[in-house]
Amino acid sequence: MLNTNSKGSPRTWEPLEKFEGDFSSFWHLDTLPPLRRLSWWWWWWLVIIPDPDRPGRSKQLMVLWSTRDCERIDVSGFDWWGGGRTHTDNEGGIVFPGMVASWWFDGEKVFEPLVLREARMASISADHPLWGAEKSDGGGAVIPILGDDLSMGLAADRSKFWLKLTSDESAISDGSPTKFDLKMTPWNREISALEYKHNVYAGNMGYDILRIHGTKCSGTIDGEEIEGTAYFQKVTVQAPSIPWFWGMLHFEDGSYLDWWLPHISLSVTAKDSDPWKLRDFTRLPLAGAGMFKDAGRQRTEKFERCEVKLIQPKGKDAEYDSNGNPLPKFHVRMWNGRTQVGLIVRAVGRAHWSFNQPTRAHLTSHFTYNEYPLKVEQITVLDEKGVRTIGDWGWVHGNAEHSWGILH
């Protein structure tokens, strides 16, 4: 039965007992033929914990387990040389070279990197003999082969994911938490079921994405109990990385919103991670898109028209990252024939990764990927039933991305 608000309208979707969807490729890396210097694989969790001491803000944890088909790449100052070969055993278990990367935002300060470690990793499904499960329904795990437990996995019965993390000594000495022990459980059928998206362009270039738009999250951080939400992606991409805007929001009633706008600008020539470049004065948007899984209306809206404006706050309106750079705002608009969504979100922290990869003719390509914990300042949803604003939800929390450069 649906919960209702004071006006009697539906507030939440049907809950799930286990994660649904096709998990057959979840623990594999071979969904697309690899392309040298272009193929990239990762599992990515973003955990969002409402901050009781700072209304409207959230604490956030990002963890990435990743590998890339390249001879060498510099990741935020760590020189990774490919790490060796990938091996697949007779039961489908995979051991591959990679890195674990993570940042933590405590509501005020970003610890980046929280973790940045090279490791051989094993990816196995729960029906592998090493697991020992009597019955498997799509579960499995990614396990870095290290002294610390930095694993992520799904129970054999799909009832929960787990995430375990031990911070690097450099982050701990700077004041970060040491141990994260988290559990992700289904929220509702609309946002917690696994969704698949696939596209291949010319020359085997393309992408393959598995997403879980929202889960409940609980567990401990240094022994302290927490509750929040989480977002997940498992991605294969093999194409040059170009600039984009992306963002997502979780709502108190179990709704989910995202936006996506790749674009071309002179920022593709950037060779460093400094924001607010003079060359980034105009952008040519490519095919933007968005989605609103709307618990209040019990429906999903898809948007093929999306606009994102980057705003540089000034004076008393500005907040700053750890390097003294103003943190951006994003003005986002999306619409279709029935629903319009407009929002202004403010970055309250910045985590960024800098990638430098040798390419042809002894040149080096550069890419900067920024993630911003958000505070939602305004949101308006207009449809045939009326107007909703930020006061119609108990809380809204999320994250945005902005990237520049081109990696190839």
SS3 labels along the chain: CCCECCCCCECCCCCCCCCCCCCCCCCCCCCCCCCCCCEEEEEEEEEEEECCCCCCCEEEEEEEEEEECCCCEEECCEEECCCCCCEECCCCCEEEEEEEEEEEECCCCEEEEEEEEEEEEEEEECCCCCCCCCCCCCCEEEEECCCCCCCEEECCCCCCEEEEEECCHHHHHCCCCCEEEEEEEECCHHHHCCEEEEEECHHHCEEEEEEEEEEEEEEEECCEEEEEEEEEEEEEEECCECCEEEEEEEECCCCEEEEEEEEEEHHHHCCCCCCCCCCCCCEEECCCEEEEEECCCCEEEEECEEEEEEECCCHHHCCECCCCCECCEEEEEEECCCCEEEEEEEECCCEEEEEEEECHHHCEEEEEEEEEEEEEEEEEEEECCEEEEHHHCCCEEEEEEEEEEEEC
80 plus 170 within the same structural domain: yes
HSE-up of 133 (CA within 13 Å, CB side)?
Answer: 18
310 plus 212 within the same structural domain: no
Residue 3 lies in a domain: no
Instruction: Give residue 247's identity as a one-letter amino acid code.
Output: G
CB 176 within 8 A of CB 141: no
Residue 8 lies in a domain: no
pLDDT of the residue at 4: 42
List 103's β-bridge partners, or say none. Answer: 62
213 plus 288 within the same structural domain: no
Last residue of a domain, one of 189, 220, 239: 239
In the chain, the number of structural domains is 2
170 plus 316 within the same structural domain: no
CA distance 297 to 248: 19
At 134, phi and psi to the nearest 5?
A: -70, -30
pLDDT of the residue at 201: 59
pLDDT of the residue at 364: 87
CA distance 290 to 365: 29
Q: Along the 408 residues of the chain, how does pLDDT read in single tens digits?
A: 234 443 444 467 888 899 999 998 999 887 666 666 567 788 999 999 999 999 999 999 999 999 887 778 888 898 887 766 788 888 888 999 999 999 999 999 999 999 999 999 999 999 888 887 777 788 999 999 999 999 999 999 999 999 999 999 999 999 999 999 999 999 999 999 999 987 665 556 667 899 999 999 999 999 999 999 999 999 987 767 788 999 999 999 999 999 999 988 888 888 889 999 877 777 888 888 999 999 999 999 999 999 999 999 999 999 999 999 999 999 999 999 999 999 999 999 999 999 888 877 677 888 899 999 999 999 999 999 999 999 999 999 999 999 998 877
Residue 2 lies in a domain: no
Structural domain of 58: 14-239
249 plus 230 within the same structural domain: no
Residue 234 lies in a domain: yes
Last residue of a domain, one of 221, 239, 257: 239
pLDDT of the residue at 33: 63
108 plus 133 within the same structural domain: yes
357 plus 408 within the same structural domain: yes
pLDDT of the residue at 32: 60
264 plus 221 within the same structural domain: no
pLDDT of the residue at 34: 62
Residue 39 lies in a domain: yes
109 plus 160 within the same structural domain: yes
CATH of the domain at 303: 2.40.370
- Separation in Å, CA 109 to CA 55, 351, 373, 380: 16, 10, 11, 29
Residue 208 lies in a domain: yes
Which tokens go with 312? Answer: 């540089």
CA distance 349 to 341: 24
Residue 5 lies in a domain: no
213 plus 260 within the same structural domain: no
Whole-model pTM: value is 0.93
130 plus 207 within the same structural domain: yes
181 plus 191 within the same structural domain: yes
Which residue matches tokens 């697949």?
88
